[in-house]
Amino acid sequence: MSEQSQAKISDSSSRRGALALQRRVDAMEQVLIQIYGPERLVLRAGKLQALKQLRSEDLALKTLALQKLILDDPGITAIPTRRQIPRILTHLEDELADMIARRTLEDELEKKIAERMQERHEEYVRDIRNQILKEDGGPETPETLKKLDRLTELDKVHLKGSALDVVRPASLEEVVGQSAAIESLMAKLASPFPQHVLLYGPPGIGKTTVARLVLEAAKNLAQSPFQPQAAFVEADGTTLRWDPREVTNPLLGSVHDPIYQGARRELAESGIPEPKTGLVTEAHGGVLFIDEIGEMDPILQNKLLKVLEDKRVRFDSPYYDPDDVNVPQYVHKLFQEGAPADFVLVGATTRQPDEIAPALRSRCAEIFFDPLTPEDIERIVREAGRKLGLEVKASVAQMISQYTLEGRRAVTLVVDAYSTAYLTQGTTPHLLDDAVMQRVISRSRLSPVKPIIRRDAEPGRVFGLAVAGYHGLVIEIEAAVFPARETGRGRWYFNETAGSMTKDSVFNAQACLRRVTGRDLSQYDFHINVVGGGNIDGPSAGVAIFVAAYSALTKTPMRMDTALTGELALSGRVKPVGGIPEKIFGAGQAGFKRVLVPADNRMDLPATTQAPELVLVHTVADVLDEVHL
């Protein structure tokens, strides 16, 4: 090939290379125009002192302008040579690709940011709208307003009222049979230094009513610490429930943590726990009355005792931050100082004192309510009839007293008879007669409370006394003596269903009988029976069992108008027993004229002049002197 031909080929290749470079430069310029826009690109080129080079037809000057624009560096002044241009363009293309990638990412981020800002804006507008609605009209909707109207309509419907509310005592003077308990409770509450009190007694005799009325009476006394607005807060120990995690405690109060239970919305949204005060704070400055306090959970009782000592309830929560400026002042105060709980506790129970927690008893004075007598029941019946506008015949009041010794039950029977008479007569009744009352009692399937006891005197038969709850019971004890089946191997038989302690009473009676009679008891078989299998699980039947065995052995009848109680020592001394007031009351209800009581129980005797006659005995010799016909 000639030199001329080679030159032509070389020149053609050079032009193609220059054309390719020109295309690359033009393409890069178009990309920049798309990125910045024509006007902004001109302004940018002028700022970087590259506008003149960008408009030049010289490939090298245009490449220099692209360098300044893409690298954002006006200090680049060296004009590239022909050989440098390809390498520079490659570098600029890489930089331009990075720029486009950044631009794309920035656009996506800006789009997401704009969307998120729009969502926030809409949520903000929605909150503002709800707040305005709440301020203007509250959270009410047509549905909530409809439910409110329904409740309002229901409130307009009232029954005439509960008959039990009508007959309930309205003053202390109307309370029957509890003068001693009222006086004692008034002394405890009306003192300048009131005491916590436990009230003992059978159900339905007025413990709750007396406590409420005593507080009202105490408010009117000058020395009383109770203000006129002092509250009487009632609770029931059988229904007081609480969560050991302190999530809920209606008695003492609890903390509503924002995560588990949710405090009020404005607190929960800020993660602020909200303490909720309980009944002890509601009773601050007044009386907290807990019925059936013996049924309370033991742990809850201990927590209550702590409040009685501190006179405050303490709150705690891991979510409470004392340095949080968003916490309301009342929440700070409750967490830092606790809630006030300075009140007088009055607990009522139908349990025996030994069944109540010693820690609770040690902090409280104790008052015992007396069981009601038939005369008390008759007064209650007449007063209930008066409040209902009824004339109650004396025979009706007496009939009711034969079937119940609970005031509440007696009033319920009067109300039932009132309703029955109203239904029968078709008009408001004014007289309560025997026929209506007999129908009510028959329908209620009641049994007489006064025992019917055969009083025929015969050897081996005596009457002992026992206690069931707060009521005294008369227990018939009989004994029979026979020659021993095996000579010299006499035995004692008794019904052990009467209680495990009966065996000890029989053992002591055996020793005393041998001492008193001087007989060889191994020649006899003794049969001791507690009629009906009544539970005398305690040592107080010792004297009665001894007298029954003595009477059977000597074939000597004993007085049938005398009831016996007392523990028997091996020496023959009569030792003191418990439940003396209840036993005396039970003997009186059964019609006994005399009761033999251990001399050491003289401080337990009730202050009454009514029957039965009380005889103090020291030894079995005294007992035998009193029961012999």
Pair of tokens at residue 357 = 């927690």
Place of tokens 């029968």: 424
- As annotated, the active-site residues are 540, 583
CATH fold of 179-368 reads Rossmann fold (3.40.50)
419 Cβ partners below 8 Å, 6+ apart?
163
pLDDT of residue 533: 58
Pair of tokens at residue 171 = 């003053």
Among the listed residues 190, 177, 195, 305, the one whose alpha carbon sits nearest the alpha carbon of residue 252: 305
Domain 461-627 listed as CATH 2.160.10.10: no
Domains of the chain: which residue ranges? 3-104, 179-368, 375-444, 461-627
Which residue ranges of the chain lie beneath pLDDT 50? Answer: 262-263
Task: Please give the C-alpha separations between residue 191 and each of 33, 310, 346, 368, in angstroms, as whole numbers.
Answer: 98, 21, 15, 19
Place of tokens 């789009």: 111
What DSSP string runs through 17-44? Answer: HHHHHHHHHHHHHHHHHHHH-HHHHHHH
Percentages of the chain per state (helix, strand, coil), in multiples of 5: 50, 15, 35
549 Cβ partners below 8 Å, 6+ apart?
460, 479, 481, 509, 510, 513, 526, 528
Among the listed residues 254, 256, 235, 258, the one whose alpha carbon sits nearest the alpha carbon of residue 244: 254
What DSSP string runs through 470-488? Answer: TEEEEEEEEEEEEE-SSTT
Burial degree of 385 (CB within 10 A; 0-12, 13-18, 19+): buried
pLDDT of residue 498: 58
Within 555-601, residue ranges assigned H as helices are: 580-589
Strands 594-598 and 613-617 turn out to be parallel
**CA distance linking residue 576 with residue 298, whole number of Å:** 32
pLDDT of residue 8: 56
Residue type for 194, please? P
pLDDT of residue 268: 55
Omega cis (within 30) before 202 = no
Q: What is the pLDDT of residues 374-400, one digit of tens each?
A: 888 889 888 888 888 888 888 888 888
CATH fold of 375-444 reads Helicase, Ruva Protein; domain 3 (1.10.8)
**CA distance linking residue 482 with residue 82, whole number of Å:** 148
**CA distance linking residue 518 with residue 522, whole number of Å:** 12
pLDDT of residue 6: 56
